[in-house]
Amino acid sequence: MPTNSGDDAVSQAKRQIDEVTPEEVRDMQARGDDVVYLDVREPNEWNLGHLPRALHVPLRNVEAKVEALIDRNQSVVAYCARGNRSALAALAMKRMGYEKVASMARGIAGWVDIGGDIEG
């Protein structure tokens, strides 16, 4: 039986989900779009800083906890450090019936690179 590496899983996920850029997220925030920004990093990463008004659910807990926190009709942008874990989270949510979910390409590193605001 063939095995997939973590990189393979991320590549497969990215082919099945929508991605948005940090620049697009900045525009969403500037317009005041009704979007949940879902940080799927670990707690120690979250504590170092996160997008304003973000919701924190580590990737390992997304499938167990997200339904209680985010309505399936809500627009969601998941993000992590570089855009890999958020791709996996977006795919998991898509499989759970979330239709308006995307992953932020380049993650919070890309967000910081464009001068995006950080809380925490």
As a whole number, mean pLDDT of residues 22-30 equals 97
As a whole number, mean pLDDT of residues 70-99 equals 98
Concatenated DSSP letters of the chain: -----HHHHHHHHHHHSEEE-HHHHHHHHHHT--EEEEE-S-HHHHHH-B-TT-EE--GGGHHHHHHHHS-TTSEEEEE-SSSSHHHHHHHHHHHTT-SSEEEETTHHHHHHHTT---B-
Task: Examine the pLDDT at 44 and tell me if it is beyond 60.
Answer: yes
| CATH number of the domain located at residue range(s) 6-113 in this protein | 3.40.250.10
Task: Write down the domain spans for the chain.
Answer: 6-113
30 vs 81: CA distance, rounded Å: 22
Q: What percent of the chain has pLDDT above 70?
A: 98
Task: Examine the pLDDT at 3 and tell me if it is beyond 60.
Answer: yes
Which pLDDT score is estimated for 88?
A: 97
Task: Examine the pLDDT at 1 and tell me if it is beyond 60.
Answer: no
As a whole number, mean pLDDT of residues 98-103 equals 98
As a whole number, mean pLDDT of residues 49-75 equals 97
